[in-house]
Structure 1
Amino acid sequence: MAKAMKKDLMDSNPDGLTNKGVNMYTKAQEQYKKWGIDTEAAIKKCAEISVSLHCWQGDDIAGFENTGAALSGGIQATGNYPGKARNKDELMRDLDLVFSLIPGKKRLNLHEIYAISDNDSPVKRDQPECRHFDPWLTWAKARNIGIDFNPTLFSHPMAASGLTLSSPDKNIRDFWIRHVKACRKIAAYIGEKQGSPSLHNIWIPDGLKDVPADRLGPRQRLKESLDEIFSVHYDKNHIIDVVESKVFGIGLESYTVGSSDFYLGYAAKAGINVLLDNGHYHPTELVSDKISSFLLSFDKIALHVTRPVRWDSDHVVLFEDEVKEIAKEIIRNDAEDRVLIGLDYFDASINRVAAWVIGARNMQKALLNALLMPHGDLKKLQDTGNFSKLLVCQEELKTLPFGAVWDEYLLRQHITGSDWYGTVEKYENDVLKFR
């Protein structure tokens, strides 16, 4: 009955608006227009900005190797909420529901441990092949979703020491070099097949629990490993290479080999790009402040948007100040095509599908919010030193009827509004609780 009523409304009004909706949106449109803001242009542009959803929220970063190995590498998924995905069919089914509840242009970010073997035996970590990801390509193509890709240098016996590409053991280094080389080949293959470059992001956990006796040696070995990995060249129309730093990990608190300084220098010299995760810096460092600097030196920047609470705890993204500032930096600098947005969090204490949807919708809210700002006028106020008026305008903009424009955006995208959680609750009762 509800679906039929919704269809009747859509058929009678192609924009999917009720009379009340028209009234609320029209009033909001008029208020934004007074600030020189075109809400129609904002809605259209927001729908074109890609956000890459991380597959690992659905199963607590377990993957399909089924080795029983505990999560390692200085990361941790906390909680034991029922219903996590246990295989590819469950994960894909969950993702289908998630994508039906979020607006905008979508991508999916895969880790190598989500390789799908053709005989149900686990794919060996240093031997993944392109064919192991053909099922994901088929699934994504049917949904018009792009795929990004990551090597998985954790949760494996060869990473038990906390060192991978920087290990003093050559056998360990060679194992992981083979792994990352194979992953870059897969990413390039994915990019070619899907017709858009696949972002390939290298993150390693390497570090030490206590004060190191040698900081240079591990970094020298990491550099040499990366040099070997990047000695193979692929078409940049198929793959975008990035490296991701981190400030510390659990059990690796005193020293991180792949620090921000290390990767910034390496990426600049190697002609690749960097990924900024807003949970991977000291608490007083803000990724929103770094974006403009990186735009001056790199062709592209990749982001992992998360919510650190006291540390890199990967909480679900909220519609909060730092996420808003990140979006503003992207929009005000016309960098939608240069800043590649991905999400990265894994909360196992709440419904995992809901966690996905909450974070993705909040990233979309931040982008739409940034598009509904008169950035040119605000810049002029700053440049002319009119800081009093600048502050007044920044504060007054906060109470404009953003919610009405957001609701209109969802209607145009044929996405459920604020009552979306009812769909997730039904899915939990019908599907998740039986896992």
Structure 2
Amino acid sequence: MEPNVKQAYEAAKALYAQHGIDTDEALCKLETIKVSMHCWQGDDVKGFLNADQELTGGISVTGQYPGAARTPEELRSDLDKAFSLIPGKHKVNLHAIYTDTDEKVELDQLEPRHYERWVTWAKEQGLGLDFNPTCFSHEKSSEGFTLSHPDAEIRQFWIDHCKASRRIGAYFGEQLGQTCVTNVWVPDGFKDNPVDRMTPRKRLKASLDEVFAEPIDPKYNLDAVESKLFGLGSEAYVVGSHEFYMGYGLQNDKMICLDAGHFHPTEVISNKLSSLALFTSGILLHVSRPMRWDSDHVVIMDDELLEIGRELVRHDLLGTTHIGLDFFDASINRVAAWVVGTRNTIKALLRAMLEPVETLKKAELEGDYTTRLALTEEFKSYPFGAIWDYYCASKGVPVREQWIAEVKEYEQNVLLQRG
């Protein structure tokens, strides 16, 4: 470790200690937090099961930056590179279409063995795996409906796919010793105003009941359901709205997934955490950055990311909240996108841990809003960066912007060789 990094840390540590903040303790806690890094940033959500299938379900990836992964091996190589630049041990979030198999298999026939190479790799790297059924970009989702489809045969296909996905998730959890979160999201909805909003939701509810009927040990797999406000092709009505899934999750003890881009443009998920946490045993987050709509930009250190971190830390929700990322940008180096988004998410949690929360709560309870405001603002310029640099150095990953050179070298030697 460079002497200047150590010296800066010691100086910052002493400053934080004046407010009763133990930076060593904060870093020990930070080390236990796992961020689930989404695999689909690496290849623009194509996957390997039906790689030539056009993207549907309101998903759109823009940009033509060279070097997208074309095979599972290339994707794992890119993930390895990204993780080498991110402090801590984390997880990878897989969609069902990222199966690594030589067999020709349909979504409803997927089995754990079709992901054995992913499991082997995750074991070698000390990573966990999360999972998602892929209810889009398929001929049976071309009409805009899956689990709520009016055709019982098509609906059953998607039910069977989601059932298979839960079993795969349980296999991941059992093999890796880290609980897998299997998240169900479907794009179902209408482009224009529907007459009947209720019946599709009745079908979705019945389908989910069948999907979750098989008991699975929560030690290995936890189920989550994810809502959306609108999407491309479902601008007027989405079957799986926030109200629908909040009700379903609470009634059926399923985790509710809050995606940062799935609400109104001025609505934030940070403000929902303290309410939802009172009534659920766990929450799943998809941390993203919406711009104008659910455009899934790379996560930056903006106000909402910081507020998410604060809510999780201030209310002791880290033990029951599963943090995942969800963005896809093909206009920049895809490995760099992972590194920027993941490092920022971890940074936001660390910044929250380095705030005088108990002092601020005390001032608020006593009605001393002057101290609350003044101290909150002063801490924005405290030397958080020195603590972050020390954490990176202690974990053997590049300090500050040094990682960019490694990504550029990887781009030249690996990504640009893919043609």
When the two structures are superposed, what TM-score results if normalisation uses the length of structure 2?
A: 0.98
Does structure 1 retain, via aligned residues, the 8 Å contact 2:148–2:155? yes
* CA–CA distance in structure 2, aligned partners of residues 375 and 320 of structure 1: 20
* CA–CA distance in structure 1, aligned partners of residues 70 and 394 of structure 2: 34
SS at match of 1:110: strand
Matches within 5 A, 1:83-98: 83-98=67-82
- 1:140 aligned onto 2:127: no
Q: Which runs of 5+ in 2 are unaligned?
A: none
Give 2:60's match in structure 1, choosing from 41, 66, 76. 76
Give 1:195's match in structure 2, choosing from 166, 177, 180. 177
Hey, what does 2:4 align to over in structure 1? Answer: 20
* CA–CA distance in structure 2, aligned partners of residues 344 and 128 of structure 1: 23
Q: CA RMSD in A?
A: 0.9
Give 2:269's match in structure 1, choosing from 269, 282, 287. 287
* CA–CA distance in structure 2, aligned partners of residues 335 and 401 of structure 1: 25
Does structure 1 retain, via aligned residues, the 8 Å contact 2:50–2:97? no
Hey, what does 1:13 align to over in structure 2? Answer: none
* CA–CA distance in structure 1, aligned partners of residues 333 and 291 of structure 2: 19
SS at match of 1:363: helix
Does structure 1 retain, via aligned residues, the 8 Å contact 2:37–2:90? yes
Q: Deviations over 1:45-92 (max 9, x none)?
A: 111111000000000011012451111101111111110000011001
Q: Which amino acid aligns with 2:297?
A: H
Matches within 5 A, 1:20-99: 20-99=4-83
Q: CA deviation at 1:284?
A: 2.2
* CA–CA distance in structure 1, aligned partners of residues 289 and 253 of structure 2: 29
Q: Which amino acid aligns with 1:421?
A: I
Q: Deviations over 1:157-211 (max 9, x none)?
A: 0000110001111111011011001111111111111112100100000010000
Hey, what does 2:100 align to over in structure 1? Answer: 116
Q: Between 82-91 and 41-50, report the one with greater CA deviation.
A: 41-50
- 1:429 aligned onto 2:412: yes
* CA–CA distance in structure 2, aligned partners of residues 55 and 380 of structure 1: 42
Hey, what does 2:235 align to over in structure 1? Answer: 253
* CA–CA distance in structure 2, aligned partners of residues 108 and 433 of structure 1: 24
Residues 220, 325 of structure 1: alpha-carbon distance in 2 compared, 3 angstrom cutoff: same
- 1:370 aligned onto 2:347: no
Q: Which runs of 5+ in 1 are unaligned?
A: 1-15
* CA–CA distance in structure 2, aligned partners of residues 199 and 135 of structure 1: 19
Does structure 2 retain, via aligned residues, the 8 Å contact 1:304–1:344? yes
* CA–CA distance in structure 2, aligned partners of residues 230 and 26 of structure 1: 51
Does structure 2 retain, via aligned residues, the 8 Å contact 1:64–1:122? no
Q: Which amino acid aligns with 1:21?
A: V
Does structure 2 retain, via aligned residues, the 8 Å contact 1:79–1:348? yes
Hey, what does 2:154 align to over in structure 1? Answer: 172
* CA–CA distance in structure 1, aligned partners of residues 364 and 47 of structure 2: 49
Does structure 2 retain, via aligned residues, the 8 Å contact 1:66–1:122? no
Matches within 5 A, 1:215-254: 215-254=197-236
* CA–CA distance in structure 2, aligned partners of residues 303 and 192 of structure 1: 23
Hey, what does 1:414 align to over in structure 2? Answer: 396
Counting matched residue pairs gives 417
Q: CA deviation at 1:22?
A: 2.5
Does structure 2 retain, via aligned residues, the 8 Å contact 1:115–1:123? no
SS at match of 2:225: strand
Hey, what does 1:10 align to over in structure 2? Answer: none
Does structure 2 retain, via aligned residues, the 8 Å contact 1:274–1:302? yes
Give 2:278's match in structure 1, choosing from 278, 291, 296. 296
Residues 177, 395 of structure 1: alpha-carbon distance in 2 compared, 3 angstrom cutoff: same
Hey, what does 1:184 align to over in structure 2? Answer: 166
- 1:349 aligned onto 2:361: no
SS at match of 1:376: helix
Percent identical among aligned pairs is 51
* CA–CA distance in structure 2, aligned partners of residues 47 and 228 of structure 1: 38
Q: CA deviation at 1:427?
A: 0.6
* CA–CA distance in structure 2, aligned partners of residues 403 and 197 of structure 1: 32
Q: CA deviation at 1:105?
A: 2.8
Q: Which amino acid aligns with 1:424?
A: V
